[in-house]
Amino acid sequence: MINKDLVIIGGGSAGLAAAIKARQEGIKDILIIEKDGNLGGILNQCIHNGFGLEIFNEELTGPEYAYRFKQIVKDKKIEYLLNTSILSLDKGFFIKYINESGVSICHAKCIIFAGGCYEKNAGAINLMGDRPSGIFTAGCAQKYINIKGYMPAKKVVILGSGDIGLITARRMTLEGANVLAVLEIMPYSNGLNRNIKQCLDDFNIPLYLSYTVKKVIGKSRLEKIIAGKVDENLNFIDGEEIEFDCDTLLLSVGLVPNISILNNLGIEVSSAKGPKVDEIMQTNVSGLFAAGNCVHVHDLVDFVTNEGYLAGFGAALYLKNQLKEDLNIDVVARNNVSYVVPNKIKYSSNKELEFKFRVKKPCKNVDIIIKNNDKIIKKVYKLALLPSQMENIKINTTNSPLKDGMITIDIETRA
């Protein structure tokens, strides 16, 4: 068995940022555990550009973005294990893992969990019809093309307008596939507007809103799908079907935080399906921090990186015994807000707080109102809010200290 001050589970953008920040704050005994054969996580298969506009003030591809952080980790001689899977994690922070050297145990004084998220598959959405080959998640298809060099499709329909699906639509078109349509069950897209423009409009790929797959048809390989239009209650409308002859159906139907390994620790889970965290990304389990898409799904990798920095900073304070809880404030999402991060405020020493949240449904001409108990501490007008876009609101409490009780995030429509 080995002992470490800080173990970071996950070597993607959040985990790498957390390790770098913790080292900058004086923590030297750090170990990163990564299941893949390379640091960088999902960034390694995202060969399109658009990364790093906030962190580096320039446009990078995913591998370029990851490379910069990997180099810092190597330069700072932060230890890491690759091709290593976690078998169990118990309340004493004993981590059992397996790799080519066999099964080992590491005891950590502090843990940062940065395990990312996973894509919903056909079973998760109760896809109706046959079960032929040719049905993939969009991220899986992206990995086949960008990492493995395989072209898995010729005629494609994509279900779901999430960003991964939109980007994969463009990528498959560039590789010679015919992307027949993108179907979206909601009456609005779940992808960023820039990806709708750059990945669909620029390639004349049609987007069908309020449509989903009604039936899958195929024997050994997918032959056809029947798409049906749905009403406001998501029920199929009779006579509103479209048939697509295709060999591939890609699913871009949502991401779910990957936190099953934490179940034994007694963590509290938020409405975003990730661990509840305070303003320095510590969970309700003392010494266990979390950051990135395992907490809530982000729009941009830069946001994930900043959250990793925050978790690394918090973990360093914990290890140096510099955390002094003097507040007890629950943060509550209300009135069309699906979730908010952080879920708890504990430290009056943090004078600037950042709240991240998404709305449940699109809305226009609204005020975002943040209250501490009954007192309004921030009010921000927005012309429009979309579920596909994460909102970030910062609050400075220097001149108006917070009080125990509750912070609420409300959306109110202007008359």
Please determine, looking at this structure, whether the domain spanning 121-253 carries the CATH number 3.50.50.60.
yes
The residue-averaged pLDDT of 122-133 equals: 90
For 377, counting Cβ atoms within 10 Å of its Cβ (0-12 exposed, 13-18 middle, 19+ buried), the class is middle
Could you give the CA distance from residue 355 to residue 343 in angstroms, rounded to a whole number?
Answer: 9
In 233-315, which ranges are E strands? Answer: 236-245, 248-251, 255-257, 288-290
State yes or no: pLDDT of 415 exceeds 80.
no
Could you give the CA distance from residue 289 to residue 9 in angstroms, rounded to a whole number?
Answer: 10
Res 53: pLDDT? 87
Residues of CATH 2.60.40 domain(s) within the chain?
Answer: 325-415
Give the residue, 110 or 414, on which the prediction is more confident.
Answer: 110
pLDDT band per the 50, 70, 90 thresholds, residue 378: very high
What top-level class would CATH report for the domain 1-118+255-323? alpha beta
pLDDT band per the 50, 70, 90 thresholds, residue 31: very high
The residue-averaged pLDDT of 394-415 equals: 93
Residues of CATH 3.50.50.60 domain(s) within the chain?
Answer: 1-118+255-323, 121-253
pLDDT band per the 50, 70, 90 thresholds, residue 399: confident
Could you give the CA distance from residue 120 to residue 137 in angstroms, rounded to a whole number?
Answer: 8
**C-beta of residue 143 within 8 angstroms of C-beta of residue 234:** no
Half-sphere exposure of 82 (CA within 13 A, CB side): 9
State yes or no: pLDDT of 159 exceeds 80.
yes
pTM equals 0.94
The residue-averaged pLDDT of 393-404 equals: 92
The residue-averaged pLDDT of 143-153 equals: 93
Res 192: pLDDT? 82
The fold of 325-415 is: Immunoglobulin-like (2.60.40)
Tokens 């921000």, residue located: 380
Tens-digit pLDDT profile for residues 182-218: 999 999 988 888 889 999 999 999 999 999 999 999 9
Q: Where are the alpha helices (DSSP H) in 224-363?
A: 301-319
State yes or no: pLDDT of 109 exceeds 80.
yes
Instruction: Determine the 3-state secondary structure of 101 from DSSP.
Output: coil
The residue-averaged pLDDT of 145-153 equals: 93
Could you give the CA distance from residue 252 to residue 168 in angstroms, rounded to a whole number?
Answer: 9
